[in-house]
Chains A and B, each alone.
Chain A
Amino acid sequence: MENPENLYPVDEELQKFIDYRKRSGTIWRGVFLMSLFVAILVLIVLMLNIINDAFGLVALENEVDPHSLVTGYQENTMVSMPNTFASTNHAALAAVIQQNETGIGFVGHAHYQTNADDLRLIAVDGQFPTAETVADGSYPFARPLYIYTALDTLQSEPAVAGYFRFYLENANNSGGELGYFLADETLMADQINLIDTLAGGPQALDSLGGNLALSGSSSLYPLSRQMLLDFRQAGFGGDISIEQIGSEAGIEAFCRGDIQVLNASRPMTVAEAATCQRNRVNPVEIAVGLDALAIVSHPSLDFLESVSLKEMGQIFAAMNYWDEIDPSYPVEPIVRAVPGEGSGSLELLSGSMFSTIGLENLSGAAYAEIIRENLGRGRGRALERDQRFLAEGFIFDSQTAFNGACASAEPPTGCAQPARDRDNLLDLIEQEIIVPQIQQTWPLYDSIFNRQAIVAEASRKYPDAIVEFKSWLNPDFLVNPQSSEAELAGVRTAIWGTVMVVATTFLFSFPVGVGAAIYLEEYADSTKWYNKIIQTNISNLAGVPSIIYGMLGLTVFVRLLLPLTSGEMFGRVAEGTDPSGRTVISAGLTLGLLILPIIIINAQEALRAVPNSMRRAGMGLGATKWQTTWSHVLPAALPGILTGTILAMSRAVGETAPLIVVGASTVIRTDPTFFSRFTVLPIQIFQWTSRPQPEFQNLAAAAIIVLLLILLTLNASAVILRNRYSTSS
């Protein structure tokens, strides 16, 4: 036999051999690192994907512009202030101001021009209305003026076409004198061409038959009237008439087909144009000049030179005496003359005067007022019964009707609740009146890197929409119940569902599972055949597909144990309704069965890891088996048991299939109870991802983040619990 030392490599050979072993070690380490890297990469890609959907730009179109609610409210306030005269007739406004020493108000610039001697013009932020300040927009109260007629009228009544052409040719001559600001010459020429194309070439004025009847805006009244007079002067032989009823009323009448030629101090809105179309009135819109609203006072009110928009807000919509604006002003009531409701002038005024006031700046009383003005009566009454709008009195309901409802067998929730607070009212306005609609959504990546393109696309496709950044995961999303409106949908009911289902699961499976594990580990004789069978069965159950547990749950909990799981046994089923076993309890118990084997196996593993010396120590002192198990073995095993349990719970939180079988509902709007129908987060996510509208994909992504956060919390609490228990021993 050789010298045994020679049987092992030496020197260089040894070095080589060691190097070889090190190399293979390095390769293995590389492989492990790679797999770790791949795993992390997959995780990151997954997370990025979710985050990409959960945040991003959206194009929001409101059914009602929130700012119009503010201006609408402010307009109401303005016209209903004390000592305030409101009229669509500017001559009347001018007269009121002339007659009151402390009077102040608005008239069209044309009206001011005619009464310049008796009125004092006040600058707005230092700017007087002039051709320049109106043209460059530095004077805020200026707007274009329009005349409208129906296409049919234009084509069938030569008088109208003739008048329009005459108007466009001559407005700039007379307009200046009347206090209007001149329209662009080329625009006027283009519009004359338009009339020619629509109604044929010009005809001699004296040959034009028919009459002319104008109505509408008071601001345009002086110019249109002058044009009518000049038109007759130039040879038109028919009857002429002109009325001032305000732009809004004018447009309304026009769209009904009641007005031949309409004066308007604002363009028709899209909605109004649609109404016209429905009535087969095809509006032809012609811009005839620019008008400015002048703010004027009685000549004796000489302390006011210039006012800011904010001061105007105070003068016209807040204070009642001049000295409240500035102590140096006289203690005299403010007498106001403002354009009447429904006039283009009032709209122009409020639009700029209150432009800095957002809906969120208003008071609760203002919100109640807005609700009164904008909410339908039926809906308003239903909401008022849910919870009152006002602490005292009613908006839609009446005291007697409300009292009656409260005395009935099923009183509405509003009877016992205090009135809605300001935030509640604001939310309500948003949901019931503004009703934001998402037109399109973009993922986060595009939102960041293609912002310009998105904004351009949105303004083309949805001119009225605002493009804003939206985090789909937001506080509202967490507290709102499920809804079919993506904008209003939230996961509160799903979170509650998940929490309650998982709580049931825990309460069922933890004691039963740990108990079974203790029996199997500490008491059962593992050499006995029946215990072996039980053990094998439990191990196999852990591998059974979850859908089978769903079927089991359906048969056992939903159907067989119906009286228990529906709450019928506890009197929890409302009379007249059929008891249903598709409840939180059934779901929790089903998931409990599903994770029971996992809990048992983990707990057994943990118990097995407790050294036997611990058991002997207890028994050696004369303790019973149970005392030893309870005081020493179980505490030592608890960290392991808890870890296993919480991992199992995590599985339960994410489970979908068995709950679908057990009968989870997809749309749950009210918080669940243990005996109510339910939904859980995974079901909610599943349902949202299967909807065609893209915004629900965003919601699903946000819900996934919530689900992941819940799982993370669960796992973190496992770590904390484990550390707590292993350090205390």
Chain B
Amino acid sequence: MSDSNDSTNIAVQAKDVSVYYGDFRAVKNINLDVARNKITAFIGPSGCGKSTLLRAFNRMNDLIPISRMDGEIVYRGKNLYDADVDPVEVRRRIGMVFQKPNPFPKSIYENIAWGARINGYKGNMDELVEESLRSAAIWDEVKDKLDQSGLSLSGGQQQRLCIARTVAVKPEIILMDEPCSALDPIATLKIEELMRQLQEQYTIIIVTHNMQQAARSSDYTAFLNMDTTDRSGYMVEFSETSAMFTNPQNQQTEEYITGRFG
């Protein structure tokens, strides 16, 4: 992948992206520029294809045998779906945090170190573990029990561990699929705070159900909805978050964010 960038402010671009599961088109014709070092939120009703679209950004859909994609995801001037692009490298640069916290059934330390190790990290591992856990705002809670299993943590802690794990391999973009849906409000706040800190170094795309969360913690918002005719998702509106929540351009958007939807 070339290092040259057409627009320094754009981290990654979706160009006319459609994703199919077998014959079913889950999302269609998405065009989207994701701004560098900003938080972009995807909102929309359940099943409209937010996760599907998010996965398209780091080729995670490749793991689903029946899925197929049209269009381009352009990153550093290169379509990620070109034949010569290695999905492993894509995921290395564009990390992912999942809806359900999924730490490895290994020690907290190992949870962080494993990703670094397999990616050939040459620095001081202890330092990296500490730095990653600090940047995920969980260091103080786990520093005395690094050898305990990652599964012994609470749900919110597990999710922050997963974020720390992702941060440790130093990606450029972090994809988060409803990272707070399994968490209580306090843990949710902590993660939101964390996202604000991470934003300085990373570009973040987050899928959320939670209007307040999107309003509070994102810079840009994309509203996706399901086409009633073919049940596939399409992008209704994409703009700065403040604009969308104060002055939605589209009728559906307004209904959705004010809770009058469906």
**Inter-subunit contact B169/A619 (CB<8 Å):** no
Q: State the B residues within 8 Å of A (CB).
A: 58, 60, 63, 65, 88-89, 91-93, 95-98, 100, 102-106, 114-115, 118-119, 149, 162, 165-166, 169, 171
Q: Mark A612-632, 1 if CB is under 8 A from B, else 0.
A: 011111111111100100011
Whether A160 is near chain B, meaning CB under 8 Å from some CB there, is no
Q: Which of A617, A636, A729 lies at the interface centre, i.e. has the most chain B CB atoms within 10 A of its CB? A: A617
Q: Mark A627-650, 1 if CB is under 8 A from B, else 0.
A: 100011001100000000000000
| 10 closest A-B pairs by CB | A622-B92, A621-B115, A620-B96, A613-B102, A729-B105, A617-B102, A622-B91, A627-B118, A623-B118, A624-B88
Set of chain B residues within 8 Å of A620, measured between Cβ atoms: 58, 60, 91, 95-98, 166
**Inter-subunit contact B91/A617 (CB<8 Å):** no
Q: Determine which of B93, B97, B115 lies in contact with A623 in the assembled complex, contact meaning CB atoms within 8 Å.
A: B115
Q: Can you name 13 extra interface pairs (CB under 8 A) apart from A613-B98, A621-B114, A623-B118?
A: A613-B100, A617-B162, A618-B104, A620-B91, A620-B96, A620-B98, A621-B95, A622-B95, A622-B115, A622-B119, A631-B114, A632-B104, A729-B105
**Inter-subunit contact A621/B98 (CB<8 Å):** no
Q: A623 CA to B165 CA in the complex, in Å?
A: 12
**Inter-subunit contact A617/B169 (CB<8 Å):** no
Set of chain A residues within 8 Å of B97, measured between Cβ atoms: 620
In the complex, which residue of chain B has the Cβ closest to the Cβ of A630?
A: B118
Interface residues on A, range: 20 to 34
Set of chain A residues within 8 Å of B91, measured between Cβ atoms: 619-622
Q: A378 CA to B100 CA in the complex, in Å?
A: 83
Set of chain A residues within 8 Å of B166, measured between Cβ atoms: 620-621
A616 and B104 in contact, given A621-B91, A621-B166, A624-B88 (Cβ under 8 angstroms): no
**Inter-subunit contact B63/A729 (CB<8 Å):** no
Q: State the A residues within 8 Å of B (CB).
A: 525, 527, 611, 613-624, 627, 631-632, 635-636, 729
A614 and B104 in contact, given A621-B169, A622-B115, A623-B115 (Cβ under 8 angstroms): yes
Q: Determine which of B63, B65, B104, B169 lies in contact with A622 in the assembled complex, contact meaning CB atoms within 8 Å.
A: B169
In the complex, which residue of chain A has the Cβ closest to the Cβ of B62?
A: A619
**Inter-subunit contact B105/A636 (CB<8 Å):** yes
**Inter-subunit contact A616/B65 (CB<8 Å):** no
**Inter-subunit contact B96/A729 (CB<8 Å):** no
**A123 to B: closest C-beta gap in Å:** 84
In the complex, which residue of chain B has the Cβ closest to the Cβ of A618?
A: B104
Q: Provide 20 A-B residue pairs closer than 8 Å at the C-beta atoms, listed in order of the A residue.
A: A527-B65, A613-B102, A614-B102, A615-B63, A616-B96, A619-B91, A620-B95, A620-B97, A621-B91, A621-B114, A621-B115, A621-B169, A622-B88, A622-B91, A622-B115, A622-B119, A622-B171, A623-B115, A631-B114, A632-B105
In the complex, which residue of chain B has the Cβ closest to the Cβ of A622?
A: B92
**B92 to A: closest C-beta gap in Å:** 3
Q: A622 CA to B104 CA in the complex, in Å?
A: 15
Q: A729 CA to B105 CA in the complex, in Å?
A: 5
Q: A622 CA to B173 CA in the complex, in Å?
A: 13
Q: A621 CA to B103 CA in the complex, in Å?
A: 12
In the complex, which residue of chain A has the Cβ closest to the Cβ of B114?
A: A631
Q: Which of A611, A622, A632 lies at the interface centre, i.e. has the most chain B CB atoms within 10 A of its CB? A: A622
**A617 to B: closest C-beta gap in Å:** 4
Q: Which of A615, A620, A623, A636 lies at the interface centre, i.e. has the most chain B CB atoms within 10 A of its CB? A: A620
Set of chain B residues within 8 Å of A623, measured between Cβ atoms: 88, 115, 118-119
A616 and B169 in contact, given A525-B65, A627-B118, A636-B105 (Cβ under 8 angstroms): no
Q: A575 CA to B17 CA in the complex, in Å?
A: 74
**A726 to B: closest C-beta gap in Å:** 9
In the complex, which residue of chain B has the Cβ closest to the Cβ of A611?
A: B102
In the complex, which residue of chain B has the Cβ closest to the Cβ of A632?
A: B104
Set of chain B residues within 8 Å of A613, measured between Cβ atoms: 98, 100, 102
**Inter-subunit contact B102/A616 (CB<8 Å):** yes
In the complex, which residue of chain B has the Cβ closest to the Cβ of A614?
A: B102
**Inter-subunit contact B165/A616 (CB<8 Å):** no
Set of chain A residues within 8 Å of B103, measured between Cβ atoms: 617
Set of chain B residues within 8 Å of A627, measured between Cβ atoms: 118
A619 and B60 in contact, given A627-B118, A636-B105, A729-B149 (Cβ under 8 angstroms): yes
A617 and B104 in contact, given A622-B169, A623-B118, A631-B114 (Cβ under 8 angstroms): yes
Set of chain A residues within 8 Å of B169, measured between Cβ atoms: 621-622
**A100 to B: closest C-beta gap in Å:** 90
Set of chain B residues within 8 Å of A525, measured between Cβ atoms: 65
In the complex, which residue of chain B has the Cβ closest to the Cβ of A636?
A: B105
**Inter-subunit contact B119/A619 (CB<8 Å):** no
In the complex, which residue of chain B has the Cβ closest to the Cβ of A613?
A: B102
Q: A620 CA to B118 CA in the complex, in Å?
A: 13
Q: Which of A611, A614, A621, A627 lies at the interface centre, i.e. has the most chain B CB atoms within 10 A of its CB? A: A621
In the complex, which residue of chain A has the Cβ closest to the Cβ of B110?
A: A631
**Inter-subunit contact B119/A616 (CB<8 Å):** no
**Inter-subunit contact B98/A616 (CB<8 Å):** yes
In the complex, which residue of chain A has the Cβ closest to the Cβ of B106?
A: A729
Q: A412 CA to B114 CA in the complex, in Å?
A: 60
